[in-house]
Amino acid sequence: MDSGHHAYTRFEPAGVVAAIAPWNFPLMLESWKVAPALAWGNTVVLKPAEDTPASAALMASLALAAGLPPGVLNVLQGYGPDSAGAALTAHPGVDRITFTGESGTGKTIAGAAAANLVPVSLELGGKGANIVFDDADLDNAVAWSIRAIFSNAGRVCLAGSRLYVQRGIYAEFTDRFVAAAKALVAGDPKDEATQLGPLASEQHYRKVRSYLDGIEADGGTIRTGGLGDGWVVLPTVVENALPAARICREEVFGPVVTIAPFDDDEDAIRSANDTRYGLNAMVFTRDLSRAHRASAALRAGTVWVNCFFVRDLRAPFGGVGDSGIGREGGTFSREFFTEPKAVVMQV
């Protein structure tokens, strides 16, 4: 400033934050929303998914027991459309909306927020690309790629559900990947030996099954997997599916991965970016320069190199395209959960 004036910025609480969390990692994702909102001085109305109400109620009870004043963290139970969720997102008393969930629901919430000019942070669906270059450490790439698609039975928005492998190592990698998928133990989650349990509901099981039913018509071949007992979908690896097939374009949200070869770096990046989603991607290579070039070229909010789902909560988290709007984490959470105010005074 010119002589005689001083300027500074205040980061004041936005007010009331509406936080809406999904059912796949309820307590973790609820806490990721609630903690920064409270830290920056806001009050929170948390609406958990109707399928997983208990963890939010327990967290709020523990917050009260720990001394959080009544009314600071509130839990609103109920359904979404035409119910509690719709009423919450359209309420004129809400100052911020943070939502994690399906892309179509996110668009509806964005429309409701727009009517009141309320800022939104939307972390939506994904169709993560996983690129394995021919110079990758195959042991490491196979191990992380298995985790990237089959953790939590594939019910992860960040899942590496599109696997691209350079042609020179395609056969070897695919054989090893398929063998590792076959070795996973699927079944009763109460059994300590189980590594992959049933899907969360009959409705979700039917959705995932519908993608498997269409694989043959789209030219694909199931190398391993398919339907298990009850609501179990076995770790499923699909080859030769057409790029335009539903299973290659839409978020399955289950333990199903498509795998295809690529020839060079440009081919890999082109295939990876050929999606309306842009939440995350993975790159496996020993070449640091290649890793930087690929990370820069990929259209995604997060790129993991030689790993998967390693989070630093200070780093920005979010996606582009149908994967969302905005970023949270570190100073990005501060920008979203506060109203920055410039103060300029003559001294």
Show contacts of 175-182: CB within 8 Å, 24+ apart: 176/138, 176/142, 177/142, 177/145, 177/146, 177/237, 177/259, 178/223, 178/224, 178/237, 180/142, 180/143, 180/146, 181/146, 181/150, 181/224, 181/225, 181/235, 181/236, 181/237, 182/224, 182/235
Q: Residue holding tokens 């100073």?
A: 331
| Segment 4-31 mean pLDDT | 97
User: Could you give the percent of the chain with pLDDT greater than 70?
Assistant: 99
CB atoms within 10 A of CB 201: 12
Contact 121, 328 (CB under 8 A): yes
How does pLDDT run across 32-50, given as a tens digit for each residue? 999 999 999 999 999 999 9
CA-to-CA dists, residue 157 to 27, 224, 262, 338, angstroms: 16, 22, 24, 27
β-bridge mates for residue 339, sequence order = 12
Q: What is the largest distance, in Å, between two alpha-carbon atoms of the chain?
A: 76
| Segment 211-231 mean pLDDT | 94
Residue tagged active-site, from 123, 239, 251, 328: 123
pLDDT of 3 reads 78
pLDDT of 1 reads 62
Residue tagged active-site, from 12, 30, 157, 239: 157
pLDDT of 213 reads 94
CA-to-CA dists, residue 145 to 7, 135, 139, 140, 330, angstroms: 50, 16, 10, 8, 28
- Residue 27's contacts (CB-CB under 8 Å, 6 or more residues apart) are 55, 56, 59
How does pLDDT run across 236-274, given as a tens digit for each residue? 999 999 999 999 999 999 999 999 999 999 999 999 999
d(CA 250, CA 18): 28
Q: Which fold has domain 5-124+319-346?
A: Aldehyde Dehydrogenase; Chain A, domain 1 (3.40.605)
Query: At 280, which helix (H) or strand (E)?
Result: strand 280-284
| Segment 134-152 mean pLDDT | 98
Q: Which residue intervals of the chain bear CATH 3.40.605.10? A: 5-124+319-346
pLDDT of 218 reads 85
How does pLDDT run across 52-110, given as a tens digit for each residue? 999 999 999 999 999 999 999 999 999 999 999 999 999 999 999 999 999 999 999 99
Q: Which residue intervals of the chain bear CATH 3.40.309.10? A: 129-305
Query: Which among 315, 280, 275, 31 has a CA at the least distance from the CA of 148?
Result: 280
pLDDT of 133 reads 98
Answer yes or no: 123 catalytic. yes
Per-residue pLDDT for 219 more than 90? no
- Decide which of 3.30.70.1060, 3.40.309.10, 3.40.50.620, 3.40.50.1480 is the CATH code for 129-305: 3.40.309.10
pLDDT of 36 reads 97
| Segment 294-316 mean pLDDT | 96
Report the chain's mean pLDDT, rounded to a whole number.
Answer: 97
Contact 40, 12 (CB under 8 A): no
Per-residue pLDDT for 2 more than 90? no
